[in-house]
Chain A
Amino acid sequence: MDFTLPEEMESLRRIVRDFVGNEVEPVAQEIEESGEIPRRIVQMAKEMGLFGLSIPEEYGGLGLSMVGKCAIYEELGKTHNGFTSLIGAHTGIGTVGIVQMGNKEQKRRYLPKMATGEWIGAFALTEPSAGSHAANLKTTAVRKGDRYLINGSKHYITNARDAHVFTVMAVTDPSKGPKGITSFIVERDFPGFIVGKTEKKMGLNGSHSCELFFEDLEVPVENRLGEEGEGYVNALKILTNGRAGLAARNLGSCQYLLDKSIQYAMERVQFDKPIIEQQAVLHMLADMAVETETLRSLTYRVAWMTDQGMNVIKEAAMVKLYGSEVYNRVADKAVQIHGGIGYNAEYPIERFYRDARITRIYEGTSEIQRNIIGAQLIKEYRKRS
């Protein structure tokens, strides 16, 4: 067994760590207050190639393994989660559909521009009536000659304000349930595509989620991703693929909070000694460290399994669930150790505490992950007996 990263992955990780520490961290508070990521930072991220993590080299990306991507996501998780989300959603659910299910023409048309970040990607599944019950879509797609007409709406679509390319799920055959869902690649300037208001959120400032409205949205047949009826399975595959990456981002945030908490506990003096000498505080730090390290092991193991082409439905759900729950527990302890400063919005801990909360909800709630894990356990048990 070998737990070390290949040297070139370490090099990638180092550069991303430098970029995050030198460029993004100094403006994190500014992002939080203005709700905007400075253009200069986004431009630098594009020039570095951060938008092309998932895209094969032949289309101008990095073609990284999942382990390599996780190493980078972990570093990105150590700064403002809104910035992390812009890149994470683009390189995860925003591009993976086209990479994995797209045909040659679709890849040629979309991937090079998505690799450079000229076109930002987004994933549009969730609807007012279809959250955890993802198959309950109301958006319809009706074929008319060489195009589809799509009608309906989406909401909570991450990156929607700035994205150009959307992977959209719509119902082509209402009589077939989940098997009547089809996925499409939709460009922002297709006729009938309307971006609604930007949602006001608890956190993830700088990452802009919007409603989408489709009014006789015209999508050429060649923009159908896969065959009719494959949309739901496609969506699940895209989400499963994104889960280790999401966990890696949470892992980075946990590590950040742990480091900040140790530093603070060593500096903060109460009762004439640094609070780290209080066993109650030290035990909190120990628990944070154990959970962070456990998350690290599980994250890279699931990433490795993904790279081996193994079926990771259960493990991906585990790491999504565990990563989100650990992030929330670690953030809670970090606030507790920091006390009043942890609650103060001029310091970063409070921001991480709020940003952590969404991770138990988006890309499949913790409850849905438990459902997936449970269903797999039953399946495995039946196979054995």
Chain B
Amino acid sequence: MNILVCLKQTFDTEERITIENGKINEDGAEFVINPYDEYAVEEAIKLKEQHGGEVTVITIGPERAEQALRTAMAMGADKGVIVDLEDLGDQVDEHTIAQVLAATIREEDLDFDIILCGYMAVDDGSAQVGPRLAELLEIPHISTITKLTVEGDKVSVEKDVEGDVEYIDAKLPILVTAQQGLNDPRYPSLPGIMKAKKKPLTRLELDDLDLDEEEIAAKTEIIETFLPPKKEAGKILTGDLADQAKELVQLLRSEAKVI
């Protein structure tokens, strides 16, 4: 079975985010595989262990993103592809990423039976790249899965739908995106880390792909980046229920200004 995993390197979830000159400051930050993508990597390796085959991990990102691919390889992925879009600067959004991924898969002749992605990245949280990529490759997709079984070309999944479960049967080839609960990602073994250094890695830049820069240019624009307001102490209302309700309505109107 040929298995592709698209992953993104994101800030460690414990990093404190600071903004400098309207941009998120990356100095000294620790980076990890986006946690949802880590579920995808784990599931891919499990599939390989059950069915044999090869796991290829793909990422788009700067040089440091190689670290994320090496970690996936240390977990058990076989090879990696990294596409550096530095030339595009800020002109990158979900549309761009999906186009570049599709082009990479086509032009590097990456055969696939199944593609796994995290359902979203914890940094921009768009949850678009997986479904967009499936559309471009003209294959079906199922998002936010919490269980995956593949037998022959038959695919059975359990999909999280706002806390309920939907059971879906489908066929390969397919793209699925991982929701929390799909699995418990393994720690890479230490010998795995040493071996990962020697696994094949392909580096690509925009020029290596047959893409029209205008066509893949971002369709959205970031107007402003700001931190959420500081959480302030809560308020506990007292008195009988009618008074509390009255006060609440008043506060929602005058303080929170939401009604």
Contacts and interface: CB of A to CB of B under 8 A. Distances in A.
Contacts of A47: 186-187, 189
The number of chain A residues touching the other chain, given as a range, is 10 to 19
B89 interface: no
Q: Which of A15, A44, A57, A61 has the most CB of B within 10 A?
A: A15
Contact of A8 (B187, B189, B197): B197
A62 interface: yes
A215 interface: no
B187 A11 contact: no
A11 B189 contact: no
A53 B194 CA distance: 12
A48 interface: yes
Contacts of B197: 8
B74 interface: yes
Interface residues of B, number: 15
A50 B196 CA distance: 17
B70 interface: yes
A15 B188 contact: yes
B96 interface: no
A11 B191 contact: no
B191 A62 contact: yes
B190 A15 contact: yes
Interface string A7-37: 0100110011011000000000000000000
A62 B187 contact: no
Given A11-B67, A11-B74, A48 B189 contact: yes
B71 interface: yes
Contacts of A53: 190
B69 to A, nearest CB: 12
A8 B66 CA distance: 12
Contacts of A18: 187
Interface in B24-72: 67, 70-71
Interface of B: 67, 70-71, 74, 186-194, 196-197
Interface of A: 8, 11-12, 15-16, 18-19, 44, 47-50, 52-53, 57, 61-62, 72
Given A8-B197, A11-B67, A62-B191, 10 more contacts: A8-B194, A11-B74, A11-B193, A12-B190, A12-B193, A15-B187, A50-B190, A52-B190, A52-B191, A62-B194
